[in-house]
Structure 1
């Protein structure tokens, strides 16, 4: 048995409980999937199956051989389906959660798991998910490092990496929450992924909230320090919480990017949290993660809860919000 790890949190259903979190940690026996070696199956037909998520990707990460505006990118995928690309006619542009499932911010150039079989990888890729606050923008992912940012649908040109659901694989990646569709084949039109329960959060009545979907426990206050701090001082604040045994626990930590992203509802805006969440003092701003940028460790990954962007900021020169979490990683 050995422990295998990647970096984006996904979800598997467990009857008798709410959706059980899997922080992409698995204990696996020989011959099973192991994160960075056996995660991907090269089907030798121009496709690659991700055994972890059940998604099938084109092995060529740029089968359209060009960059397009968002609408033409969706049209390009429609042409793949008309042609039966690699024997399938149900390709789609991935939604933001699907494409993010490939990202490993512990690596760069590209930020994909070691040993992946993909080729012809480019930098910026469209997703089918429209931004909630500006309907003329859509989310895109920077595969070189792992940024998640938005681009204008008409005026920005990005590459296309088609995906489909392999066989009868269950959806293990949650829906983005997007309800409105803007073009045939986009995220709002397809709404792929596993649905999430309405009774998702448990207010424990002691200053903490448990997310029944991810299994993570958060402080109920999303701004416990009552103000922004640089990354070093954020770590010192977490250390003080643990020394004091805040709410009876001594294992608080800064969240990983994947932890913060589990809270995002892409139909929401400012803040981008699910409706009826029980948290208090949720700031419309940027939150520190625990993850340095591996290309330049002076910078640390952050998640913006105003609009869900994932970007890097200098750990000493920038001050961001701090939201302690425990469990998971």
Structure 2
């Protein structure tokens, strides 16, 4: 994020996927036939967002969280997770690099919303095995079921 100065600060960086996801407002929707009926998956009372008039699904933002694409995709292509504030999905995008540092792969180009502050602090889990089939995340205070029951469930029948 060289040469980026906003609000008098110059120590901006690309957010991790957990940091980027903290901006998500999941009570929104996309109407691809008429974006004036759409609400971006972002707290737009604080952050700007405009739908592309030709491609309403175009709203991808980079994160710094990387992975190696493999399997059915070309092996050893560097990818990065991103969030699409237009349609509300975490997705993966090719960065244009191979993990050996060479280039030549298509980089689709994504938007970028910079962040500042210490990296890897937000969203770092502090898991504790409580025994008895539960795990607590001391970072959030949430207690989790440790092992699923192995069955699928209809959500309307689940006790939520």
| Interval containing the TM-score (normalised by the shorter chain) | 0.5 to 0.7
Shift of 1:114: 5.2
1:160 aligns with 2:112: yes
| Other-structure match for 1:91 | 12
CA shift digits 1:248-300 (9 cap, x unpaired): xxxxx3xxxxxxxxxxxxxxxxxxxxxxxxxxxxxxxxxxxxxxxxxxxxxxx
- Trace 1:137-216 onto structure 2 (pairs within 5 A): 137-154=79-96, 155=106, 156-165=108-117, 191-194=119-122, 196=124, 200-205=127-132, 207-216=133-142
SS at 1:87's partner residue? coil
Partner SS, residue 110 of structure 2: coil
Output one character per residue of 1:123-174: Cα deviation in whole Å (capped at 9) or x when no partner.
1111111026666110110001321111111122211112223xxxxx6xxx
Q: Does 1:111 align with 2:41?
A: yes
Is contact 1:130–1:138 with CA below 8 Å preserved after alignment?
A: yes
Residue deviations 1:203-239, cap 9 Å, x none?
A: 242x333332222222221x21x2334xxx2442x33
Residue 98 of structure 1, CA deviation: 1.4
**Cα contact 1:202–1:212 (8 A) shared by 2:** no
The TM-score normalised by the length of structure 2 is 0.64
Cα 1:235/1:78, change in 2 over 3 Å: same
Measured at CA, do residues 99 and 194 of structure 1 come closer, stay the same or move farther in structure 2, by a change above 3 Å?
Answer: closer
Distance (whole Å) between structure 2 residues aligned to residue 160 and residue 193 of structure 1: 20
Among candidates 146, 151, 155, match of residue 227 of structure 1: 151
In structure 2, C-alpha distance between the alignment counterparts of 1:212 and 1:86, rounded to whole Å? 34
Aligned residues: 129
Partners of 2:111 and 2:123 lie apart in 1 by: 28
TM-score by length of 1: 0.34
- What SS class does the counterpart of residue 131 from structure 1 fall into? strand
Are residues 102 and 216 of structure 1, via their aligned partners in 2, closer, same or farther at CA, if it must alter by over 3 Å?
same
Q: Using a 3 Å threshold, how does the CA distance of structure 1 residues 197 and 163 change in structure 2: closer, same or farther?
A: closer
The question of 1:130 aligning with 2:66 is answered yes
Higher helix share: 1
By how many angstroms is 1:91 displaced?
Answer: 1.3
Unpaired runs of at least 5, structure 2: 30-38, 52-57, 71-76, 97-105
Q: Is the 8 A contact 2:129 2:135 kept in 1?
A: yes
Name the structure 1 match of 2:102.
Answer: none
Instruction: Verify the 8 A CA contact 2:40 2:85 in the aligned structure 1.
Output: yes
